[in-house]
Amino acid sequence: MNQEDFPRILGICCRWCSYAGADLAGTMRLQYPPEIRIMLVPCTGRVDILHVLKAFDLGFDAVFVSGCHIGDCHYLAGNVRAVKRVAKLKKDLAAMGIEPERLEMFHVSSGEGPKFATVCKEMYERAIKLGPNPVKREARAAWLAKQPEAGVAA
Ligand code: FES
């Protein structure tokens, strides 16, 4: 996959719930966009702000963090910390000129394969609506030129 490819979406999933939810979605043969790449982490509490910033720097157009439901984290409060981190990072992204909608936090359990597929579709649709990540200058410029309001800077 080329850095300028569009869309590219990263799902950072905790191994205990969301990764198993992704597995279940596959087992159930549910359709979700193939542009999603999954990164396994032991717990969403492990997700650092730098991981997300690096993903955007590498050209991902949207990133989601998906962990256990509140109260179900295997490390007690990792997902609570992740919720706070994602909320703070969304504000920081806005300050950097990256739309905060490109980042989201979800809670998907191991038994929620259909919900995982829905999350993937939602993030795919957001990426399509927002266009290429501003870090991907060439892809972004080409996409903007095709928009009805071409010439309007992002
Ligand atoms: Fe799943 Fe902490 S173990 S979010």
Position 139 confidence tier, pLDDT thresholds 50, 70, 90: confident
Residue pointed to by tokens 């490390």: 75
Sheet holding 36-41, edge to edge: 36-41, 9-14, 62-67, 103-107
3: left (phi over 0), alpha (psi -120 to 50) or beta: alpha
Domains in the chain: boundaries = 9-146
Q: Which of ligand 1's atoms lies nearest the C-alpha of 42?
A: 3
Q: Which of ligand 1's atoms lies nearest the C-alpha of 78?
A: 2
| pLDDT exceeds cutoff 70 at 58 | yes
Helices 18-27 & 113-130 angle (0-180, nearest 10): 100
DSSP label of 75: T
| pLDDT exceeds cutoff 90 at 127 | yes
pLDDT value of residue 149: 73
pTM, 2 dp: 0.92
Query: Taking a C-beta distance cutoff of 8 angstroms, is the pair 78, 46 a contact?
Result: yes
pLDDT above 70: percentage of residues in the chain: 96
pLDDT in tens, 59-107: 999 999 999 999 999 999 999 999 999 999 999 999 999 999 999 999 9
| pLDDT exceeds cutoff 70 at 150 | no
What's the whole-number mean pLDDT along residues 49-65? 96
CATH architecture designation of domain 9-146: 3-Layer(aba) Sandwich (3.40)
Q: Which of ligand 1's atoms lies nearest the C-alpha of 73?
A: 2
Testing ligand 1's pocket by substitution, the residue of 13, 17, 64 carrying the most ligand atoms inside 8 A of its CB is 17
What's the whole-number mean pLDDT along residues 103-112? 97
